[in-house]
Structure 1
Amino acid sequence: MWGPTQLPHRAKRRRSREVDVLSHLAAGRSNCQIAEAMYLSVRTVEKHVERLLMKTD
């Protein structure tokens, strides 16, 4: 099992992206605006948002 400081590089990057998406959401930005700001597709942003929402349940 991985500890919080032992995450593989890909997992750290993914977690960081989710945090970035969350900060954009908190600023009131739309998925389209977030995608543009982060150089991602809207669908990728939607998936990040979906995962974030699942974590809040």
Structure 2
Amino acid sequence: MEKYGDLRFIIGSFFFLSGIVLLVLAFTVASQKTYGHELNLYGGLGITLFGAFMLWLHRRDKG
């Protein structure tokens, strides 16, 4: 599984940072009380957790 280590790091970093951006958008949209902040909130949480899981797999296999 070592050959997928760098790919896991790249994918994990991308999804983790994308999830953080969605969470920030969710809170800015929620403050404006417009439609769609639930999608950004739950999507951001899911994507952030997926990215964190991929980064954890990368760290576990590397160490």
Same-fold call, TM > 0.5? no
TM-score, L = length of structure 1:
0.41
Question: Which one scores higher on RCO, CA 8 angstroms, separation ≥ 6?
Answer: 2
Q: Which has the higher helix share?
A: 2
